[in-house]
Amino acid sequence: MKVLVAVKRVVDYNVRIRVKSDESGVETSNVVMSMNPFDENALEEALRLKQEGIASEIIAVSIGDDSTQDTLRKALAMGADKATLVKSDETLEPLAIAKLLTKIVEQEGPELVILGKQAIDDDSNQTGQMLAAMLNWPQGTFASKVDVNGQDVTLTRETDAGLETIEMSLPAVITTDLRLNEPRLPKLPDIMKAKKKPLDVVEASEFGVDLAARLNVVKVTTPPERKAGIIVANAAELVDKLKNEAGVL
pLDDT digits (tens, 9 = 90+) for 105-129: 999 999 999 999 999 988 999 999 9
pLDDT at 83 over 90: yes
Model confidence at 222, pLDDT cuts 50, 70, 90, reads confident
Assess contact for 76 and 197: CB atoms under 8 A: yes
Assess contact for 11 and 19: CB atoms under 8 A: no
Model confidence at 244, pLDDT cuts 50, 70, 90, reads confident
Model confidence at 135, pLDDT cuts 50, 70, 90, reads very high
Q: What's the average model confidence in pLDDT over 75-104?
A: 94
Assess contact for 77 and 186: CB atoms under 8 A: yes
Model confidence at 28, pLDDT cuts 50, 70, 90, reads confident
* pLDDT on residue 217: 86
CATH class as words, domain 2-244: alpha beta
* DSSP 8-state assignment for residue 19: B
Share above pLDDT 70 across residues of the chain, in percent, rounded to a whole number: 100
Indicate left, alpha or beta for 53 from its phi (over 0: left) and psi (-120 to 50: alpha).
left
* pLDDT on residue 194: 94
**pTM value?**
0.86
pLDDT digits (tens, 9 = 90+) for 154-200: 999 988 888 999 999 999 999 999 999 999 999 999 999 999 999 99
E strand intervals along 7-74: 9-11, 33-35, 57-64
Report the alpha-carbon distance of residue 8 to residue 64 in Å, rounded. Answer: 8
* pLDDT on residue 68: 94
pLDDT at 246 over 90: no
pLDDT at 24 over 80: yes
Task: Mention every residue, 6+ apart, whose C-beta is less than 8 A from residue 22.
Answer: none
Report the alpha-carbon distance of residue 178 to residue 95 in Å, rounded. Answer: 23
Considering only CA atoms, which of 63, 191, 53 is closest in space to residue 115?
Answer: 63
Report the alpha-carbon distance of residue 185 to residue 80 in Å, rounded. Answer: 13
Q: What's the average model confidence in pLDDT over 38-44?
A: 96
Sequence spans of domains, the chain: 2-244
